[in-house]
Amino acid sequence: MASVRPSAAVPGPAPVPVPAPGRADGEIHVIVGPMFAGKTTALLRRVKSELTGGRNVAIIKSSKDTRYATDSVVTHDGMKFPCWVLSDLSSFRQEFGDDAYEKLDVIAIDEAQFFEDLYDFCSTIADRDGKIVIVAGLDGDYLRRSFGSVLDVIPLADTVTKLTARCELCGGKAFFTLRKTQETRTELIGGADIYMPVCRQHYVNGQTDADAAEILMKSGIRTDFFLEAASEV
């Protein structure tokens, strides 16, 4: 009688990695929008909520952003919160300290478009270390192109919030950032002196409307007629 050889075992699916024992699943939440859309305000609101819930939180911002303070995250309307100021995210754990890092529950990152290592950092601390990451930054530059690595993080995210501002020329919803100067560098840090939030129509119309509004305001001529006309175009 012929012997029957046992068949080779069929390999099963690869095991799904699980968080280390005693740690909650990590999360990534992304907040994007044009300038003056309230991204930092939304970030700080979420931070306050996490603190109220008893979680340990650290905030990081780029060392490139020195507009309002060098050691705090500050909104355009003056709300502020102390933070860690770094040139790259990979140095955070060393700067913060291993013991303190292990006790952290939430890491919030403001002006995230300035960090080249954003994707790897978010992936590591959420997937491996089981922490909550809140990312706030511009999704596009003044040319409406992807800015930094913020959009790269979206496939990793649990939630994505797209905020809008108020168009300075017509009062409608502003989805884009218009640069008022002729400077062509992608990274040109500034505030209302350099940028304005605009709707699609006034972005496409471009610099013409911005220049006209500035000329009228400097001349002392009433600008409400211009703004009303611009909103009807």
Catalytic positions, written as ranges: 111
Calpha distance 195→177 (Å, rounded): 6
Give the C-alpha separation, 122 to 144, whole Å.
24
Contact call for residues 109 and 86 (beta carbons, < 8 A): no
Q: At what angle do helices 207-219 and 224-232 cross, to 10 degrees?
A: 160
Distance, CA of 107 to CA of 47 (rounded, Å): 9
- Residues paired with 219 in a beta bridge: none
SS3 96: helix
CA distance 40 to 53: 20
Determine contact, residues 209/169, Cβ cutoff 8 Å. Answer: yes
Grouping H, G, I as helix, E, B as strand and the rest as coil, residue 77 is: coil
Q: Is 68 annotated as a binding residue?
A: no
Is 107 within 8 Å of 121 (Cβ atoms)? no
Annotated binding site: 195
Annotated binding site for substrate: 195
